[in-house]
Amino acid sequence: MFSMDNSIFENTQFSFSIATESSNEPLKIPQINLARAKAATNQLQLTASTIKPDVILVQEQYINNNGIQGNPQTWKRFSSSNQKAAILIPSSKLKPALLATKVNIAALKIQTSSFPITIISAYSSPAQNVYTPLQEIQEIISSLPEEKILIGTDLNGHNTLWGYRSNDNRGKDILDFILANNLNIINKRDALPTFQRNNSVGWPDLTLFFQSLIDSSINWEILEEISLSDQRYIETTIASTVANKFYKKYKTRHGNHLRFLNILGNEIYH
């Protein structure tokens, strides 16, 4: 490793600068299952204009002609290969780095003012073997030891720890996964149901995070905003502002390479 004095580049054609852009607002991450509904997908854009999220975790988006529909073209979108889980970035200022898109999950990394954070969106239908998406999540978190990770999921598992009156096998498998990976459940046990259809209610939507995030101030709540889905909006707020670093680059392909090396040489080799 070496240190570099940026002043040696002043008044040369090779000068460069690093600028940091940040927001003073906390990081806002809502999540929602859109129930494959066109109306719910259209409503998401209106809701985003009100709550002004940084990142949106969605499951079961509206699909038409084998493509995801309804999101503004200005939003960045990272979707699982089965298109049932996605991460949306409404803000043009946020510069995410894609980590992986697997069959049931999408994962990316963003930089906050305090630390980088990995964000995962995952979905598993009640008819699917829950081990498959859990294994995909496992592959991501195993590759990122000591990282700060937030996971928004709808895995359709029942467990009293996140609101249900009884446990089912899926819920037990999900809990085993949570415990094996030392994950924390942000959901409040006394929260309103996140799912409601006719007379049926449920709490299938989970927000999980690693212990390393516990040093940050985290708030989790169910929002009152209309979703036009059979599920409610959840919002996780992390008291760490968004930050992006921009590196100004200069072309060297047109010559003056010897001069460039002469300027850098002493800094590289001493």
What stretches in the chain show pLDDT beneath 50?
A: 1-20, 246-248, 250, 270
Count CA atoms closer than 13 A to 243's CA, side-chain side.
Answer: 14
pTM of the model as a whole: 0.81
pLDDT at 231: 96
Axis crossing angle, helix 131-142 with helix 169-180, rounded to the nearest 10: 10
- How many Cβ atoms sit within 10 Å of the Cβ of residue 91? 16
Whole-angstrom Cα distance, residue 163 to residue 165?
Answer: 7
Whole-angstrom Cα distance, residue 166 to residue 234?
Answer: 22
pLDDT tens digit sequence for 197-213? 998 999 999 999 987 77
pLDDT at 13: 44
pLDDT at 243: 60
pLDDT tens digit sequence for 214-265? 666 889 999 999 999 999 999 999 986 666 554 445 455 556 666 656 666 5
Domain over 25-245 is classified CATH 3.60.10.10: yes
pLDDT at 21: 54
Residue 86 and residue 121 in contact, taking contact as beta carbons nearer than 8 Å: yes
